[in-house]
Structure 1
Amino acid sequence: MEFVPVNIEQQLDLCIAFRRDAYAVSYGSLDGFNTEDTAAWFERLASLPDAGFYHAIKNDETIGQIEFRKDLIDDEGVKYGYINLFYLKPEFRGQGLGGELQDFIFSQLKSAKCQYVQLRYLPANSQGVAFYRKHGWKDVGEMDTRGQLAQKRIPE
């Protein structure tokens, strides 16, 4: 698999389609999904110097998208990363490719000297929950309206 930085000017529609599908899987419907807000988020993400915004390519097909930050500092002064989106097209899920996405993100975070990474998930995304459990993600704190915070140390 190859990871290519997103060109937001050329790939905005594809990015929105991937986000829309991820939203539907997580929330069970598209109620509340806002295309304009999503496009604005992508513009902001693309402008952040510490952001990772990539498409996953396999056999010349764009099969996924990852969005993450790699220059965050917690209350104790420890550097960490945050995954905003971890996405594979439905027909590519359950084939071990999510592990490759995670490995790529972790290599980027390790290079940035991050100690750990966080993300949020919604329990309705049962396939995502199973992936996080299988790969050693641990829940942190109580679930709130934004979902359950999960965390994993960056392997040495």
Structure 2
Amino acid sequence: MDIQYKKIDLNNNFSRALTFRLDSFVCSFDSDEEFWKEAGEEGCIYRNKLEQRKDDEAWCYYHVWHAGRIIGQLEFRSFSDWDKLGYVHLFYLIPEYRGIGVFDQLHRFVEDQLIMAGCSGAVLTASKTNLPALKAYDRHGWYWLGPNPKHAMTDFYRIDFS
């Protein structure tokens, strides 16, 4: 499948970015209640973060395109609390692109970008109840690292790039 990755255009596509972020939150936590506390009214806190980081090469925010349509979103950075490990904040695909192999391409793209940035692996947090995501991570070699002390419903997972 011909997939393209383009930096998120905040002027034209912020509402899509916010919608994808919200959906990923609901998929993970079965509610949007806490989301709006983090994102701010109409996503103002989230948008400000994206604006502040958009020119920083360590922060990566992409929309995933197929056939002229935005079908997903990636958010990651080339640093974390762990030495030489990047941090993945979001892998997101719209429902009709899930489970058909597109995630493999997104995963490869993120891995390639982090390797080029000097990372030897990556870390992410995942909801204990988001079984489709956990299955996809396991299939790609992510392993359980430990509980997330900031959020009881999530755990840390790690992958080492070979």
Q: Find the counterpart in structure 2 of residue 45 from structure 1.
A: 53
Q: Find the counterpart in structure 1 of residue 29 from structure 2.
A: 27
User: In the aligned structure 2, how far is the partner of 1:102 from the partner of 1:26?
Assistant: 19
User: In the aligned structure 1, how far is the partner of 2:58 from the partner of 2:48?
Assistant: 17
User: In the aligned structure 1, how far is the partner of 2:5 from the partner of 2:96?
Assistant: 18
How far off is 1:140 after superposition?
0.5
User: In the aligned structure 2, how far is the partner of 1:125 from the partner of 1:44?
Assistant: 30
Between the two proteins, what is the percent identity of the paired residues? 26
Consecutive unaligned residues in structure 1, runs of 5 or more: none
Moved over 4 A (4+): none
Q: Find the counterpart in structure 2 of residue 154 from structure 1.
A: 161
User: In the aligned structure 2, how far is the partner of 1:67 from the partner of 1:44?
Assistant: 14
Code of the aligned partner of 1:57 = W
TM-score normalised by the chain length of structure 2: 0.86
- Secondary structure of the structure 1 residue equivalent to 2:35: coil
The correspondence for 1:131, drawn from 119, 133, 136, is 136
Q: Does 1:13 pair with 2:15? A: yes
How far off is 1:112 after superposition?
1.1
Structure 1 or 2: more strand by fraction? 1
Superposition RMSD in Å: 1.6
Code of the aligned partner of 2:30 = G
Consecutive unaligned residues in structure 2, runs of 5 or more: 37-42
Q: Find the counterpart in structure 2 of residue 116 from structure 1.
A: 121
- Secondary structure of the structure 1 residue equivalent to 2:78: strand
How far off is 1:117 after superposition?
0.4
CA spacing shift, 1:45–1:124, aligned 2, 3 Å: farther
Aligned length: 152
Code of the aligned partner of 1:131 = A
Q: Does 1:68 pair with 2:76? A: yes
Structure 1 range deviating more: 10-19 or 33-42: 33-42
User: In the aligned structure 2, how far is the partner of 1:45 from the partner of 1:101?
Assistant: 21
How far off is 1:72 after superposition?
4.3
